[in-house]
Chains A and B, each alone.
Chain A
């Protein structure tokens, strides 16, 4: 049955979906709240406006969205429910009853803390999308919805690219595709394989929210999109003195013209925004004005040789720049593990040059909130642990701007590590096994619990055991005791 978009009305039924009420129309489609017996999630039907002579982006974008949305999962994407056929094109997806980021625009400039929190949530959403091999390529306030629990969902995959599937938009459209204020410089030059384009767009969103100004304006003609190749934006503090230097650092790093100068992954951006006190501030944080006319002119001349060329990569560009966490036990009993743990971390760092390292120690508390701020000697145990952690890491071969230090306080060390791994999107936890099996027997195995519950890779390091041969008691205890470590 062909759908006549001009004659849709409440009560109408399309392929079993009952039209309830129309929502705000988007530029290229009509949206209706729908229900279907047997499906009890809130749903929205998107019906594209496919008129004869319609812009190919609308037609192909709808096809691309169907193709990509059906393959995405998780809380950052509206759940795909159904798609119509060739004759009656529509997509039915989960209706996300949240706060569209667009609704914040009248309240700009927003507080730095709020913008950072939004930045973290959108970066988590992008990280999740990128891990599913999808680049959104049209990140902007109207495509971001904050769920009631604070999690960000990204909608509208009409310009997106799944790097393992044919790039329908890239094949169809000759020339750059995107939304003028948000499109990344490399998109302007024809690259649709760059996940860090989404990080650029998120930088524009954060800049806009915290200053009320768009960093590159809203150029109406596509040739003007090129200006962002040479014209740097005013630093956010130029507009809003209340922007803290660390947030300016993060935003301007997202807005770097060269993708290599941006954050390597969205997870790393989120990590910085979550730990502003540990960010290494560069000249970006202190910048007060944009570059002078001569610098800009030279950049403009240099960029003349950059032409639009459609770039196709056979290998997906989703570089994995992982975040590694090492759980360091600072107690005297763990000294034997110190060398092996350090070695294990160095091995991982050697194979992952872009990795970041989070050094973690758990301060075990009796009960949350009841422990004294000082110990018997008048020292703050939290600060003391931080000092010791820094000392532990100072000989590791890694740039200081890629290491952070975290003392977690919890009654349950394993739970603290698992939660830290989840909340900071850690890719790999390296930790020691508690040595003595008697201790393990009474206290339970921290590493076994982390191995069982963490969502990421976990390496458990042991101190070398000497003088044991296979067959001796204590040499092989698999099956008698949890031998995943103590």
Chain B
């Protein structure tokens, strides 16, 4: 529980001091607030978390296509772009707030703010500016339901997850996972103007996939999270409990992944493919569950982390192809 206490102990002043110290230590700036920026355009692009953004673009696109509503391609492309920029903006806000803990984790130490290339205030303004523009653009181009969902997603990720849950509870990524799960629902809402059951299931697939994905990472990076004072599940509840929970969520993901076919939203071919992918997820999670406590290399956890990325991509690609086949009237069983 030490880490949870540590996490709760971060005050705003202490955070600001830690960011400034990181800047001074790395760059020798006496007063980091008054310097001429050497930030490249690429540093600002990095603030948008391009890799997360690519997943957002893909899942939002799947939500948009599976809605099976005719839509002007330009409206579709601009809507996806607005969703992507909104997601990127929440990433910039996350990097602004988390610069102190990013600085002490090996995975994130070279991000633009902890490395001193971009000042925290610059990241904050950049994030707020892009948030407002992306939400307004989506509202004007698509509809205000989709724009409201995008605004809520940004708020949920930047405020509820980053500022509140992340440093407070080991359920941080369980609840916070909702932020990453919204994009297909936003894509769906952008073309239909409503929230359909199909988009709720796509939301659930990502929502339930998030805990095993991040806990697999947290297992082999628990030292990093512990140093940063983030109460991830392995640091708080222990590795044994985390492994059991990973397995339980993997079972849920496997079941929900098949639902589109069971409910008649996708073909039986999709159902068989999703079941096979889900079985793989359960198998990799089982290997993690059986991983000995003495195993510090944690190959099964790394394998599950890799497979989880493949799973999410494959299941949404399958939904996409199935939807396109149905639209073209292809004889899919």
Are A and B a genuine interacting pair, yes or no?
A: no
Identify the B interface with A (CB < 8 A). none
Identify the A interface with B (CB < 8 A). none
